[in-house]
Amino acid sequence: MIEVENLYKSFGDLDVLEDVDLTIEDGETIAIIGRSGSGKSVLMKHLVGLLKPDKGRVLVDDIDIGAIPYEELREVRKHFGVLFQGGALFDSMTSFENIAFPLNYFTSQSDEEIRERVLECLELVRMPDVGPKKPSELSGGMRKRVALARAIALEPRYILYDEPTSGLDPETSNTIDELITQLSDELNVTSVVVTHDMHSVFAIADRAAFLHNCHMHWVGPVDDIHKKPDEILDRFVKANEYHVGDPLRATASQRGQV
Ligand SMILES: Nc1ncnc2c1ncn2[C@@H]1O[C@H](COP(=O)(O)OP(=O)(O)OP(=O)(O)O)[C@@H](O)[C@H]1O
């Protein structure tokens, strides 16, 4: 479980998060939503200790990650897989080497064990044959899937996704959404998805957490987004769900493509 308590964060004069509380339950998929610049990525970075709160705490399995030395934080981070916005793959390495990287860095597994795990991860993202390919030889959606394979290599308990569908066409976005759901079910992980893609939110998330004006304005089951209207949330949702009816999104979902 991750608990964010009374979190404040500013950069110079810019207040980004004020008095933010959020509890992320084990096994759920929660979407962090909000306008561009509302602090979604800043909040996500606090969950894994990449940023430290000015005030407040982030507890991961009861450990206050802002108050522990780096060596202990490194141990906590082993439980996290992070899919960064651009994928953040190493361009000079093959897909195989990218996925093997955290295994080489964090574990003392043999070359054979690492090879098996890399192939397993490629299988999980349904791209068993791309190991020898470099990121530059792959499409945007394929790069995200390789990055996802790398994020799950250490068998994380938590996967953090930063805008996983941004920059992808609707059909590829569906593929990524379906993969997020599949991994959540098969690996029984807790997933935190930063996004403003409301189609994704309704497709994959159990709950949504809406940041607005530095505050956690609304948190609840996605089913309640329309049932229990909140004027500000409603405005945000309407502005961002224009492509929900996109036939490509619908078609790929119905086909169940991954
Ligand atoms: N390291 C930093 N130093 C200074 N300002 C920062 C830093 N990180 C984020 N910010 C600022 O904090 C604000 C929130 O940024 P953040 O990236 O969390 O927004 P976001 O909600 O994820 O937006 P988007 O949807 O556009 O990605 C922005 O104004 C950003 O410029």
Residues 223 and 120 reside in one and the same domain: no
Domain edge (last residue) among 101, 122, 155: 155
Using one digit for the tens of pLDDT, what is the confidence trace for 185-226?
Answer: 888 899 999 998 899 999 999 999 999 999 999 999 999 998
Confidence at residue 95, expressed as pLDDT on a 0 to 100 scale: 96
Pocket-testing residue among 41, 82, 212, 236, ligand 1, by greatest number of atoms within 8 A of Cβ: 41
- Residue where a domain stops, chosen among 155, 174, 201: 155
Atom of ligand 1 nearest to the CA of 85: 27
Chain segment 121-166, per-residue pLDDT in tens: 999 888 899 999 999 999 888 898 899 899 999 999 999 999 988 8
Query: Distance from the CA of 247 to the center of ligand 1, in angstroms?
Result: 32
Asked, for residue 87, whether it belongs to a domain, the answer is: no
Same domain, 174 and 75: yes
- The shares of helix, strand and coil residues in the chain, as percent rounded to the nearest 5, are 40, 25, 35
- Which of 136, 155, 174 marks a domain boundary? 155
d(CA 83, CA 117): 18
5 located within any domain? yes
Q: What is the span of the domain harbouring residue 140? A: 92-155
With a 6 Å cutoff on the Cβ, whether 184 touches ligand 1 is no
Contact (Cβ atoms closer than 8 angstroms) between residue 95 and residue 86: no
Residue 241 in any domain: the answer is no
Does one domain contain both 202 and 222? yes
- How remote is the CA of residue 234 from the centroid of ligand 1, in Å? 23
State the pLDDT at residue 88: 83
For the CA of 34, the nearest atom of ligand 1:
21
Q: How far apart are CA 8 and CA 18, in angstroms?
A: 5
Q: How far is the CA of 41 from the centre of ligand 1 (A)?
A: 7
Q: Which atom of ligand 1 is nearest to the CA of 196?
A: 25
The pLDDT-based confidence of 169 (bands split at 50, 70, 90) is: confident
Distance of CA 134 to the CA centre of its chain: 23
Burial grade of 230 (CB within 10 A; 0-12, 13-18, 19 or more): middle
DSSP string, 139-165: -HHHHHHHHHHHHHTT--SEEEEESTT
Q: Ligand 1 centre from 133 Cα, in Å?
A: 33
